[in-house]
A = this chain, B = another copy of it.
Amino acid sequence: MCMAEPNWLSEDEQRAWGAYRRMVLRVDAAIARDLTRDTGLSIPDYQVLAELSAAPDHQRRLSDLANGMQWSASRLSHHVSRMEQRGLVARVGCDEDARGAFVVLSEQGFDALKAAAPDHVVSVRHHLIDRLTPGQLAALSEIGQIVIAHFGESCPSPESSKQEVAAKN
A7 and B140 contacting across the interface, CB-CB below 8 Å: no
Copies of chain A in the complex: 2
Q: Contacts A165-B119, A169-B115: A17 and B128 contacting too (C-beta < 8 A)?
A: yes
Do A141 and B16 contact each other (CB < 8 Å), given the known contacts A9-B121, A111-B169, A150-B127? yes
List of B residues within 8 angstroms of A137 by Cβ? 12-13, 16
Known: A138-B12, A158-B126, A165-B115. A144 touches B28 (CB 8 A): no
Task: Decide yes or no: A19 and B122 within 8 Å by CB, A9-B129, A30-B157 being known contacts.
Answer: no
Q: Compute how far the CA of A129 lies from the CA of B14 in the bound complex, rounded to whole angstroms.
A: 9
User: Which B residues are in CB contact (< 8 Å) with A20?
Assistant: 128, 140, 144
